Amino acid sequence: MEFKESYSHLLQPGKIGTMELRNRIIMPAMGTNLNNSDCTVSDAFVAYCLRRAEGGVGMIVTEVVAPEAEGRVITGELVLDSDKYMNSMSRLPHAIHAGGAKACLQLAHGGCYASARITGVRPKTPSSVGNFQRPEDTPRPMEIDEIHELTSKYAEAALRGKKCGFDAVEIHCAHGYMPLQFLSGYTNRRTDEFGGSLENRAKFALEIIRKTKELCGKDYPVIIRLSASEYVPNGVTIEEACAFAKMAEEAGADAINVSAGTWDSRAADYGAVLAGEKDPAGLDLGLGVGTSVWVQPYFTPRGSLKHLAAAIKKSVSIPVDAVGSISPEMGEEILEANEADFICVGRQTIADPDWPNKIYAGHPEEIRRCLRCNECLGKVEANCQISCQVNPEAGREAELFGQVYPACGDKRVAIVGSGPAGMQAALTARKRGLDVTLYEKEAEIGGELNHIGNPDFKQDFRNYAAYIKNAVKKCGAKIITGHEATAEELAAIGYDAVIVAEGSHVSCPPIPGIETSGVLDPILVIDGGLPEGEEVLVCGAGLVGCEAALVLAEKGKKVTMIDQLPEHAPNMPIYAKWVLNARLAETHVKICTNHTIKELHPGEVVACDKDGNEVTFKGDAVVLALGLTPNHKLANELRRIAPQIRVLTAGDTNGSRKIMNSTEEGYHAARII
């Protein structure tokens, strides 16, 4: 990728109201599930925030904090509806300030997204409108006195935050949270003073701003996070958002953080397309559905929301924050073009907390690039703590097992295989001061990363591959390429430890005809090796099969995927899978699950459906994507002939792995030597 010669706009100090930031980089609110189950701040979250403040961002916005307990959306969500939470909450601004950044409290009430399973009470909303992601909850409408009471609770929570030491408060009026539910005609069907016209629908948010200013002082910065377009029927449009932004400024708001979407964004069209009731053409489903509108996966283009920030900026005189998969390079361009005043960068800050410091130092090539895989969000949605595909330390900053300590004594370590596991192992081992030799049988390090990043929609993977390969080459490890290390060779050299990260190879299950049918390797297809002919059959509908199918379809092939499982890409985070489904629909890939493959012939697949009926699929080529088989031979042989050498395994050598699993295993294998 091309790096900017200067990041002077990103690194320029800026102001939001009376608050001065050391640069124009904001880490926005992101759920982590790191906090305690009693809704108090944990050691883990304090360490997580401190680490990112020390990395150089200008301001950190907390993950959602409920102004009242019944507004919680996830378990363990922070609450600030009582003074009893202040002792705990005050830890966050102290940690963030210690790292040199400003601390902003985000207040968010889930409304119809608050779960009765979590809060124990029926969710309340403007008009009893629910959402497609939580159909089990049946929300109730709010009474007028409840509305005024809730706006006061926002202001009172903001005051508690100010007393705790937060420099600003952000009111979440985006992504379907309560203020947006009032603002939107999609969720607000009221006929009283809080419904009908835009001015009436805006009253809830404006009342929060005014009450907050009254309690906290007119100089206390109030930021509004706004969905500038909802992508739902009768939802907020950019025109309405611009009008509301002016109202918010007049009410006392000091900045507008411009996002987009709600939990139901494009959901109706998405369901109709998957049901075969609508053609996907022109519906823009590939730009995001539901949550994936604002947490875009790698299938979507970067910066797809920046035009919304540019439009809002033309409507107000207060600062505007741009969000939405913005890279450092893109952020610099947006600021230079005066399309925003601050840049919010979320997942990249999870992947590499030090990325602002790296551009301060003039080394953007050393930034560990985010894959936009949404594994981080997937972990949180599964009620687990946040993790990162490329940063094994993310969310583990307070854990002893997450720390890297200098090695005890001089030790020589061999690492065999230079995919994600092997390269991460090399970096961690060198960080500990170990003498490392990295063996790679191919001419270049990188393993499968050299192939899987080739499609247009996997630019993020290419960027990560470039980063980690560059880091390994500079880390001080001895690198031997074009050479397949043997157990005898490694034993003769006498290494103290060997990390085997040889990976795996495409599985060839005992299906009649598999050896003679001319099946193709899916990795080579993803790498650009297109088969001849117009119609292609892809055996296997896991993530590799889906990506191979998408690559083929985008090149104009007619593609059919066949798998015995009941669903395709079963282990993919749902917010990324919605977009994958949309892209597959947009490129007209046919998906045949619940079909067990029985025979293979050149250009032909014979299968049985779930009822036992035989079905024959015909095409011009067949791609075999039925999983991976681990390479165990070297590790087993080395343990047999050299028991004095400590042998560890990492990555696909242990079985089919995601990059997340591979980097974690490589990290910990090197950490415990």
- 17 contact partners, CB below 8 Å, separation of at least 6: 168, 219, 220, 221, 222, 254, 255
Distance set, CA 156 to CA 39, 152, 175 (Å): 18, 6, 23
How far is C-alpha 418 from the chain's CA centre? 25
Instruction: Give the residue from 193, 265, 203 showing the smallest Cα distance to 228.
Output: 265
Half-sphere exposure at residue 239, Cβ-oriented, CA atoms within 13 angstroms: 2
The structure tokens listed for 406 are 């200098």
Phi, psi (degrees; rounded to nearest 5) at 542: -75, -170
The angle at the Cα of 240, spanning 238 to 246, to the nearest 5 degrees, equals 105
Q: Are 419 and 652 within 8 A, CB to CB?
A: yes
| Run of H or E including 15 | strand 14-16
**Separation between Cα atoms, residue 180 and residue 29, nearest integer Å:** 17
In the block, tokens 């304090």 appear at 46
Distance set, CA 482 to CA 478, 524, 531, 630, 669 (Å): 13, 19, 28, 21, 24
Instruction: Give the residue from 111, 313, 168 showing the smallest Cα distance to 228.
Output: 313
> Strand 535-539 to strand 558-562: parallel, antiparallel, or no bridges (unpaired)?
parallel
DSSP 366-396: G--------HHHHHHHTTS----SS-TTTT-
Q: Are 255 and 221 within 8 A, CB to CB?
A: yes
**Separation between Cα atoms, residue 631 and residue 505, nearest integer Å:** 7
**3-class SS at 300?**
coil
**Separation between Cα atoms, residue 513 and residue 295, nearest integer Å:** 43
**Separation between Cα atoms, residue 240 and residue 262, nearest integer Å:** 15
Half-sphere exposure at residue 552, Cβ-oriented, CA atoms within 13 angstroms: 33
> Strand 59-61 to strand 65-66: parallel, antiparallel, or no bridges (unpaired)?
unpaired
Q: Which one is catalytic: 7, 48, 154, 177?
A: 177
Distance set, CA 671 to CA 387, 421, 664 (Å): 18, 13, 10
Annotation marks residue 177 as catalytic = yes
Query: Would you tell me how many other CB atoms lie within 10 Å of the CB of residue 565?
Result: 14
In the block, tokens 């980097």 appear at 663
**Separation between Cα atoms, residue 304 and residue 324, nearest integer Å:** 6
Q: Report the DSSP beta bridge partners of residue 95.
A: none
**3-class SS at 459?**
helix
Q: Which amino acid, one-letter code, is at 666?
A: G
Residues annotated as part of the active site: 177
